[in-house]
Structures are given as structure tokens and as C-alpha cells.
Structure 1
Amino acid sequence: MEESGITKRKSSKFGKKEDLFHVLHKVPYGDTPYVKAKHAQLVDKDPETAILLFWKAINAGDKVDSALKDMAVVMKQLDRSEEAIEAIKSFRRLCSKQSQESLDNVLIDLYKKCGRTDDQIELLKRKLRLIYQGEAFNGKPTKTARSHGKKFQVSIKQESSRLLGNLGWAYMQKTNYMMAEVVYKKAQMIDPDANKACNLGLCLIKQARYEDAKSILEDVLQGKLPVSHDIKSRKRAEELLKELKPKMAQPEFVDILGLDDDFLKGLDQLLDAWGPNRSRRLPIFEEITPFRDQLAC
């Protein structure tokens, strides 16, 4: 009886050690292809083997949602982003409806990594359209997100502002600063923060609208915006203002011709996505003035 008790205690200690191993390395239990892939990724630090095992998991139908997303992330780390994009496009049909949103987020990062700005813009606008139609977050007002191993709640309001911020940055990469300005202003109306304010200030500088840019950047330094205490944003605002000083002596010139056909086409697409069926809009979109009103200001 006593030996049995010792054996039981030993197995209990072993179980605790095993539990601790899985917690520390964030590796799931089991011996399936997906578990082996995560072990190769997180414990062995062998990304090539991890990718092969993720493929095996997908083909075996083993946690396909997670396997496809995790494989794409590992591919991105190995500068195989184009391959990751094709994998998601080819196999996302095997994934659940609940996983499509997170796969879109991975795709956006992959498009950014590859410099596929047009694809990035189209996907961001599609995600914003889903919010407008009330179909994002599976119809719920919030969703659970994870960052650095910690879970937190994200609201539709926060997600809308985040997507608009990403869209504004994408337009900046195309040097379409007028469209970027419009989008950043929308984002600030929904959920203002200092980082997007700095980007908006940069858009205005690029359009030689120096007084407007100065006003926005000074708001960041004076703590008039949420997250204005963020050291990086404050430092960036200081750098932009320093860059702005020698330009202030120059006359301001707004290039109205910047509203070219491509800009108007993109603008109309957003209006088409958000304009009809106003009754279906989420309240957050009802609070925002139309794009054209803002451009007229």
C-alpha cells in the first residue's frame, strides 16, 4: 500500500513537470501532426520542419484553422510570404467561419511584407465593409484577441479605427496623401490616438499644409489626445515639428489636382460600401460625417 502511494506521488510529480513544460513552451498536449509542428516551432526552433508538419496537419484535417495560420506566420518569418499568401488562399475554404477574420489579419500582414499595397487596401476595405454591414466579430460587439500570450477584449469601435489606420498607412505608401488624410481623419473621429495623429500630420506636411500639420502635432505634445503619453509618438511629433519649421516660411499650396481618377474611384468605392442601406449601419458609422462633407471643409 505504501509503495503504491509512492508510485502515485511520483506520477503526480511527473504530471506537474509535464504540465509546467507545456505551459512554459505553450505547446499543446498530444502526439498529432499539429502538436508535433508546434513542438518543432516553439521548442526545437526548427521552422522548416514545423512547416512540413503543419502541411501534414492540414492534409490530415488536424486543427486546420490553427495549422494554416501558424504555418503562414512561420513562412513569413522565413521570407516566404508569397508562398504563405497562396497557401491561405488555397486552403482557407477548409477552415471554419470563425477563423476567417484572423486569416484576413494574417493576409494583411503578408501583403504589407510583400509590398502588395493594392491587395492590402482592397482587403482592408472589405473588412471595413463587413463592420458597416454588422457582420464582423460574428455579429458580436466585441471579440477576444491575443497578444504576447495575453487575452484582451477588442470592440468594434477599436477595430474600425485600427483598420482605418492601416488603410491610411497603405495609401501613404502609394503617395496618395489626400486619401490617406481622409481615412486618418475618419479613424481619429472614431477612436483618436497620438500615433495616428502623427501620421495625419505627416499627410498634411506632404500636401504642404503646414499650419494644419503644426496644430495636430502640437496637440500630441500637449497631451490633448489619448495615448499622448506614449514616448514614441511624442518623440515622433517632435521630429516632425522640427522638420516642419524650415518649411513654414514657404507658401502653402494644396494640390487640388491630387484628386485624380484613381482617388475618386477609391473614394466612390468607400461611399458605395458605406452609403446604401443606412439603417443597417452600426451606430459608430452614423456618428461620422460622409467623406464628401469632410473633403469640402
Structure 2
Amino acid sequence: MENSSKKSSRGKPDQRDVFHAIPRVPSGDGPYVQAKHAQLVQKDPVAAIVLFWKAINAGDRVDSALKDMAVVMKQLDRAEEAIEAIKSFRCRCSKQAQESLDNVLIDLYKKCGMVDEQIDLLRQKLRLIYNGEAFNGKPTKIARSHGKKFQVSIKQETSRILGNLGWAYMQKTNYMAAEVVYRKAQMIDPDANKACNLCICLIKQARYEEARSVLEDVLQGRVPGSDVSKSRTRAEELLMDLNPPHGLSSVAELGLDLEDQFVDGLDELGSRWAHLRQRRLPIFEEISNVKDQLAC
């Protein structure tokens, strides 16, 4: 007699099919594993949060529990609660987990519209890179996205952080500071999407010919990008908006000031890091003085 309980209709063991239905759930029976099961299999985020709290209090995979709980809270529009949780319990996490927790915090700050906090944290991350303390002093790190692993270089990470910082300044309509940041990002690791953002900064400062030049580089394929077709479409749309509005022709008329808080902050950081010049990463040696560059 055939044992139907051991085989499925496809001739494979049912138990094996069950395991295939729950990908990426770690093994074990602790509260963290229970939380991941509630999150990924049962699709019960509220129960998952309760179990993540239990895991943190029990010291069960605290690094992962805190980060995963914050992500689930964000999905439930409890971002402010997630921010407080990270600030309160990150002291229980390992040194290796701090960088990923910072990345989660930046996303949460975006969600809550906390731009100033986002800027402060991004500049703090740049300080770590500048001092050679990011990636535990290594030139690359292994990152994860959608379950896949890939290598990220310190140059790519620096450009990514600068791109986020530039976007944050744009949200504050501080287009002069955003321009400075995007130019630094393009010097390190050129990117078509950041080039389009730089163009917006120039348009907002009524510097239309400079903006047109940036867009032409994107349209001519002289700037690399992860999504070339999307960047080209965006560049074409921006090009159509380049006709200057009447009565607006200079940076002075926009009330922008080169001596803004960010440029002042760069000077301050430069003086504080002067004694560490020998330890700086090579990519920072490639960046010329921003003020001199803008003044040309």
C-alpha cells in the first residue's frame, strides 16, 4: 500500500515541500526564530514585533532582532516608535551591527520627515569614512539586498551617502549645499541619477546653461547609471523645463548664499580632521576645495 502521507502528488515528500514554503527562516525555537516565522510565514507583523521585543529582552540575536523589528514597525507606520527603539537598545548590539542600524535609522528619519536628524547622521557616517573607520577599516564590505549578497566598495558607499545627503538638503530647499554635495559625489563615483539631481539644484539657482551641460552629458551617455533608460527619460523631462522664468536670472535673486551652514561645516570638519590627513582614504585626496571649484 502506498504511503500517501510521505509523498505529494508530484512524488516529492510533503515535509520537504513545507520547508520550501518557508524560505529564509532561521532554524531553532528561540523568540527570534518565532518572530521571523510570524513575520515571513504567518504574515502577522504585530505578533512578530512582540516576539522581536521578547528576543531583545532575552538577548537572542539582538543585532538582527532590533533591526528586523524596526523594519516591521516602519511597515506598520510606527516609524517614530522604531526610532526610539533603536536609540534605546542599540547599546546592546555589537559594534559590527551599528552601521546597519544607522542605515535603518536614516530610512526611518526619511519616513518621519526628520530631515535635520537625517543630515546629522549622514555627516557622521562621512566622518567615519574620512577617518578610515567605516567597513571596519576594509576597502569593501558584503551587503545584502532582497536576499542577495554583493560587494560594496568604500567609493560606492561614499557616493551613496553623499547622494542621500544631497537629497536631504534639497528637501530643505538648500540647493547651494545640495549642489556642493552632488558635485563631490560625482567626483567620486559618477551616476546619472545624481547628475539629474544636480541639474535640479542648478535650475533652482537659475544657472540654466550649467544645468543644460549636465543634462547633455546624461543624454549622450557620458555618465554611467544603474537604470540608463530611466535616467535618460528624466533628463529629457528636465531639459524641457530649462526655459528660464521671466524676471529670474541670478543666484543673488534667489537669496542663496555660498557661505551656507554646510560649506561652513566642511571648513570645520577640515580643521578637525587636519591631523588625520595621513590616515585619510585616497578618495578624499581626490576632492579639491569645493569653494574654489564653485568660484571658478
- TM-score, normalized by the shorter chain, greater than 0.5: yes
Change (3 A) 1:291 1:146: same
User: Are 2:268 and 1:254 aligned?
Assistant: no
Quote the offset at 1:236 in angstroms. Answer: 0.9
**Distance in 1, Cα, partners of 2:132 & 2:266:** 21
Quote the offset at 1:149 in angstroms. Answer: 1.0
Contact 1:171/1:180, CA 8 A, preserved across alignment:
yes
Amino acid aligned to 1:21:
A
Instruction: Please list the CA deviations of residues 53-93 of structure 1 after superposition, one character each: whole Å capped at 9, or x if unmatched.
Output: 00000000000000000000001111111110000000000
Contact 1:125/1:270, CA 8 A, preserved across alignment:
no
Give the aligned partner of residue 100 of structure 1: 98
**Distance in 2, Cα, partners of 1:172 & 1:34:** 39
Give the aligned partner of residue 265 of structure 2: 266
**Distance in 1, Cα, partners of 2:250 & 2:114:** 31
**Distance in 2, Cα, partners of 1:247 & 1:201:** 14
SS at match of 1:145: strand
Give the aligned partner of residue 188 of structure 1: 186
Give the aligned partner of residue 133 of structure 1: 131
Amino acid aligned to 1:135:
E
**Distance in 2, Cα, partners of 1:49 & 1:72:** 14
Give the aligned partner of residue 87 of structure 1: 85
Amino acid aligned to 1:164:
L
Identity %: 72
SS at match of 1:215: helix
Contact 2:158/2:185, CA 8 A, preserved across alignment:
yes
Contact 2:176/2:256, CA 8 A, preserved across alignment:
no
Amino acid aligned to 2:251:
V
Change (3 A) 1:72 1:273: farther
Structure with more of its chain in helix, by fraction: 1
Change (3 A) 1:103 1:239: same
Give the aligned partner of residue 3 of structure 1: none
Amino acid aligned to 1:149:
G
Amino acid aligned to 1:165:
G
**Distance in 2, Cα, partners of 1:235 & 1:171:** 24
Contact 1:73/1:106, CA 8 A, preserved across alignment:
yes
Quote the offset at 1:207 in angstroms. Answer: 0.2
**Distance in 2, Cα, partners of 1:130 & 1:258:** 28
Report the more deviating stretch, 257-266 or 131-140.
Answer: 257-266
Quote the offset at 1:233 in angstroms. Answer: 1.2
Quote the offset at 1:260 in angstroms. Answer: 5.0
Report the more deviating stretch, 29-38 or 264-273.
Answer: 264-273
Quote the offset at 1:27 in angstroms. Answer: 1.0
Contact 2:206/2:250, CA 8 A, preserved across alignment:
yes
Amino acid aligned to 2:37:
H
Quote the offset at 1:282 in angstroms. Answer: 0.4
Change (3 A) 1:276 1:173: farther
SS at match of 1:208: coil
Task: Note the residue ranges of structure 2 that are not aligned, 5 or more in a row.
Answer: none
1:170-181 equivalences in 2 (<5 Å): 170-181=168-179
Instruction: Please list the CA deviations of residues 169-225 of structure 1 after superposition, one character each: whole Å capped at 9, or x if unmatched.
Output: 111111111111011000000000100000000000000000000000111111111
Give the aligned partner of residue 62 of structure 1: 60
Give the aligned partner of residue 53 of structure 1: 51
**Distance in 1, Cα, partners of 2:14 & 2:226:** 49
Task: Note the residue ranges of structure 1 that are not aligned, 5 or more in a row.
Answer: 1-5
Quote the offset at 1:275 in angstroms. Answer: 4.4
Amino acid aligned to 1:80:
R
SS at match of 1:144: strand
Instruction: Please list the CA deviations of residues 73-116 of structure 1 after superposition, one character each: whole Å capped at 9, or x if unmatched.
Output: 00111111111000000000000010000000000111111111
SS at match of 1:258: coil
User: Are 2:203 and 1:205 aligned?
Assistant: yes
Quote the offset at 1:270 in angstroms. Answer: 4.0
**Distance in 1, Cα, partners of 2:197 & 2:263:** 22
Q: TM-score, normalised by structure 2?
A: 0.90
Give the aligned partner of residue 151 of structure 1: 149
Give the aligned partner of residue 282 of structure 2: 283
Quote the offset at 1:148 in angstroms. Answer: 1.1
Report the more deviating stretch, 126-135 or 247-256.
Answer: 247-256
Contact 2:131/2:280, CA 8 A, preserved across alignment:
yes
Change (3 A) 1:158 1:261: closer
SS at match of 2:241: helix
